[in-house]
Amino acid sequence: MSGRTALAGVTALAAVTAVTAGALVAPATASTHDRHSATQRAMDAAVKDGVPGVTGQAKDKYGTWHGTSGVGDLTTGRPRDSRDHYRIGSITKTFVATVLLQLAGEGKIDLDDTVDHWLPGLVRGNGHDGRQITVRQVLNHTSGIYDYYADDDFAASFRLRDGFFEHRYDTWRPEQLVAVAMRHEPTSSTPGRSWHYSDTNYIVAGMIVQKVTGQSYAHEVRKRIIEPLGLRGTTDPGTGPDMPRPSSRAYSKLADDSTGPTYDVTEFNPSAAWTSGGMISDSADLNRFHAALLGGKLLRKRQLAEMMTTVPMGEGFPGARYGLGLAQRTLSCGQEVWGHHGGILGSTSEAVTTKDGRHSLAFNFNGDWSGNSNAVLEAEFCGPGTGGQRDQ
């Protein structure tokens, strides 16, 4: 759910015994395999660093490549499957933003409407004022609204061991999540002045979708994105704790550090993430979604330009800027990619594509405490066999 490790990756501090499975290539051609060999090595390195297992898919002008490494189940040793479903965390935000931009293109909402226009009195207290915050500022994280996920009591109940096992099946309502944020002062007293990642922004965005349409967010994302693109592996689970098949087990340390025992956290009620990070998908669907989005198949030209109008993400995120639910990153070789990082209990994911939507990569670690996801991105787009230069 949080974007704190979106670009820097995580230094591995603990090892997990894992079995490495070779890459599966389809269609199998020498040129395709060679182009993605660095990506496979980066996945293997993540497993060596402590990630239980990795699954991913890349699509480019040579075809489709599937890579796996490590295990999907630490108890049985079953390897990860290239078809695995997984919790996509904050990649959910890109789906939410796409729906709101479609509504803007239909004239049903203006990005410069205030939050209070649609949700009167919701964002109010301790310096927060929804009358001064626009929908655009919510979507690009310049609203200043405090991140409910940073609240110590909430974090203890959601991602630390004792709280997780006591509350893993609890249901959170969106209004409750916003109320948690309202206990704190905003991160900026002037909306629009500075960027600060906040999951609360996208809870608010999801509530606006529902207010504008009169339908649930799940209904709108299914009608507007999932069904038109034929995303058969993508769902909004609501309050359901189970994962669809095929899927791997998901693991966490349930602690503030990376030491100690590893816990299976596969099943839990994801309502605590909702539109900030609750969706489930697979690598093939995420690539299809991002290619369609950047390829202009989901948004009108004006709305896509709005989505890709970015603000700097700050000193902690070199080479990165943030648009409306979509991050722009410039990799070491100069390649520009667009997409989102996704982190939630037991799951770390990335989904990016080039600006023209013709070269995409989506992958997942089934652990949340180790592995360098940025290294996998660098390997795919800048590694040997790619030419180490920008895609044309």
Give the active site residues.
Answer: 90
The conformational region for residue 70 under phi > 0 = left, psi -120 to 50 = alpha, else beta, is left
**What single-letter amino acid sits at 246?**
P
Tokens 């000193």 found at? 315
Closest CA to 86 of 44, 135, 42, 51: 51
Tokens of 116: 């209070």
User: Following DSSP, what letter does each residue of 118-146 receive, concatenated?
Assistant: HSTTTSEETTEETTS-BHHHHHTT-S---
Neighbours of 19 (CB within 10 A): 14
Contacts of 108-117 with CB under 8 Å at 24 or more apart are 108/212, 108/213, 109/135, 109/208, 109/212, 110/135, 111/135, 111/136, 111/139, 111/306, 111/324, 112/136, 115/143, 115/204, 115/208
Distance of CA 127 to the CA centre of its chain: 29
Closest CA to 333 of 295, 371, 372, 377: 377
Contact 299, 293 (CB under 8 A): yes
User: How far is Cα 5 from Cα 55, in angstroms, rounded to an integer?
Assistant: 19
Vertex 110, ends 105 and 111: CA angle to 5°? 100
